[in-house]
Amino acid sequence: MRSVEQDPLQGALVRSLPAPSRTYRRGRVCTTKGCGARLSIYNPARFCWQHEPMHAYSVRAPRRRRVAA
């Protein structure tokens, strides 16, 4: 029979769960006239993906380091 000293166990620390995703009212519909697309409870917008106005998005990526020449 093996003892704990011979075969140690490993584990992980107990952490709290992350905050739940924000949700919005069920049954919402795209506000574009004639569009009946039902919006996801996780979509904060008033429009579906087809009618959402164009946005300028910022890419959040780490900058590359410049290499000295």
Report pTM: 0.55
Please, which pLDDT band fits residue 66 given cuts at 50, 70 and 90? confident
Full DSSP string of 36-52: -PBPPTT--SSS-TTTS
pLDDT over 90 at 1, yes or no: no
pLDDT tens-digit profile of 11-62? 777 888 899 999 999 999 999 999 999 999 999 999 999 999 998 888 888 8
**C-alpha neighbours within 13 Å on the C-beta side of residue 33:** 0
Write a three-state SS string for 12-36.
CCCCCCCCCCCCCCCCCECCCCCCC
